Amino acid sequence: MTTFAGGSRIGLASLVFCGVPYVSLAAKMDMRPGVTEMSMRIQQIHHMSLWVCVVVGIVVFGAMFYTMFAHRRSKNPKPATFTDSTLVEVVWTVIPVLILIGMAVPATTALIDIEDAENSDMTVLITGSQWKWHYRYLDSDISYYSNIATPDTQIDNLEPKDEHYLLDVDNPLVLPTNRKVRFLITSDDVIHSWWIPDFAVKQDAIPGFINEAWTEIPVTGTFRGQCTELCGMGHAYMPIVVEAIPEADFDAWIEEQRIAAELAGEAAVAARAKSWTMGELMPMGEEVFVKHCATCHERDGMGQGVKYPALIGSAITTGPVIDHLDRVMNGKADTEMQAWAPQLSDLEIAAVITYERNSWGNDTGDVVQPITIYEAR
């Protein structure tokens, strides 16, 4: 009986909603419907609860405004004296309970479906780290990092911001349409949260633990989101971009990635075979440094206080090469210094270490070769 009363309430609410025509501003103020079945269902739950609140609000605020108008002193000089009514109290305890039950039913059924990641067609392991995402396709052993692609010049207002300001990455996560994709989500350092509003998937990435979520994208397109758990300085700068492509194209894409990985492997072999000069490594190293290291250690190598140490004359950058190698390749536990071995090629690591050891007044004269990096892997 109670469920029935609640159900009819939702029916009423959605009826009211359907009658409301969309205008562009309204769409801008509304929750995004998204593209998946689940995101649309969630938008309906949002509308249902919003309209319940609006109706209750109209009743309560209406009563308040009416009484403020009708029972002001100039109109009603003699106040009434009633102070209690058990019946009324019971009524306005029971009615909200019924409304709440009505709201809980669709929320519960949707939730049960959200938590069911079984029978997926493929799995992607998502790892957050400060401040980028790493994607690994567990079924085909392809993996790569996804970094923000918005240039610093746009962030610092030196040039106009483009359409996808802060929501652009170098390597988007590519997913096939119409396949149930399971996400395993974890983190390398602090807690992050992976969110694509259009899929209504939001799941925290917790260091040492694995979380699960899933989606099935019915349409092709590019979908953008952001990290949604405060994760330090770069929290605003770790966007998520998903490229949904047709299933057949996806298989071709996987093949392409395999070939690209092979080519990279061949390039690495070639790089190892060669002996590089400092003149060749320095500009390359600077490029890598600016892209990956300067966020914390600053372009001038001065760092930022105690958390991001200066690289000028430091024990690592001017001490034994082996320690420098270890720090760059494996990172430092419990700090924001990450392991770069999985992120950069032998040549890039060799170049950046050479650059750090011979810049800003560091004059070790060391030239680190890619083969050294390869052997330390």
Read off φ and ψ for residue 194, nearest 5 degrees. Answer: -95, 120
Q: How far is Cα 203 from Cα 212, in angstroms, rounded to an integer?
A: 7
Left (φ > 0), alpha (ψ -120 to 50) or beta: where does 188 sit?
A: alpha
CB of 250 to other proteins, least distance (A): 20
72 is a site residue for other proteins (CB under 8 A): yes
DSSP run (H or E) holding 28: helix 24-29
Residues 303-332 that bind other proteins (CB under 8 A): 304-307, 322, 326, 329-332
190 is a site residue for other proteins (CB under 8 A): yes
Left (φ > 0), alpha (ψ -120 to 50) or beta: where does 121 sit?
A: alpha
In terms of CB distance, is 228 or 280 closer to other proteins?
228
Q: Is 337 helix (H, G, I), strand (E, B) or coil?
A: coil
CB of 186 to other proteins, least distance (A): 7
333 is a site residue for other proteins (CB under 8 A): yes
Number of other CB atoms surrounding residue 192 within 10 Å: 31
CB of 32 to other proteins, least distance (A): 6
Q: How far is Cα 49 from Cα 55, in angstroms, rounded to an integer?
A: 10
CB of 255 to other proteins, least distance (A): 20
Q: How far is Cα 353 from Cα 366, in angstroms, rounded to an integer?
A: 9
Q: Please count the residues of this chain forming the interface with other proteins, following the rule CB under 8 A.
A: 123
Read off φ and ψ for residue 229, nearest 5 degrees. Answer: -135, 125
C-alpha distances in Å from residue 335, one per residue of 222, 320, 321: 34, 21, 21
Instruction: Give the one residue of 163, 248, 259, 361 binding other proteins; rule: CB under 8 A.
Output: 163
Read off φ and ψ for residue 258, nearest 5 degrees. Answer: -60, -45
CB of 274 to other proteins, least distance (A): 23
Q: How far is Cα 101 from Cα 8, in angstroms, rounded to an integer?
A: 11
In terms of CB distance, is 241 or 358 closer to other proteins?
241
In terms of CB distance, is 104 or 260 closer to other proteins?
104
Instruction: Give the one residue of 89, 170, 251, 266 binding other proteins; rule: CB under 8 A.
Output: 89
Residues 35-54 that bind other proteins (CB under 8 A): 38-39, 41-42, 45-46, 49-50, 53
From the list 27-35, 170-178, 243-251, 279-287, the region that binds other proteins by CB under 8 A is: 27-35
Instruction: Give the one residue of 96, 218, 246, 265 binding other proteins; rule: CB under 8 A.
Output: 96
202 is a site residue for other proteins (CB under 8 A): yes
Residues 132-151 that bind other proteins (CB under 8 A): 138
Determine how β-strand 192-196 pairs with β-strand 132-137.
unpaired
CB of 152 to other proteins, least distance (A): 9
Instruction: Give the one residue of 37, 122, 145, 204 binding other proteins; rule: CB under 8 A.
Output: 204
Q: Is 57 helix (H, G, I), strand (E, B) or coil?
A: helix
In terms of CB distance, is 11 or 96 closer to other proteins?
96
Binding mask 222-261 for other proteins (x = CB under 8 A): ---xxxxxxxxxxxxx------------------------
Q: How far is Cα 44 from Cα 93, in angstroms, rounded to an integer?
A: 26
Residues 168-187 that bind other proteins (CB under 8 A): 184, 186
C-alpha distances in Å from residue 74, one per residue of 68, 77, 80, 209: 11, 6, 15, 66
Residues 337-356 that bind other proteins (CB under 8 A): 337-339
Instruction: Give the one residue of 1, 78, 87, 365 binding other proteins; rule: CB under 8 A.
Output: 78
**Residue labelled with tokens 């306005």:** 92
Sign of CA dihedral 370, 373, 375, 377: negative
28 is a site residue for other proteins (CB under 8 A): yes
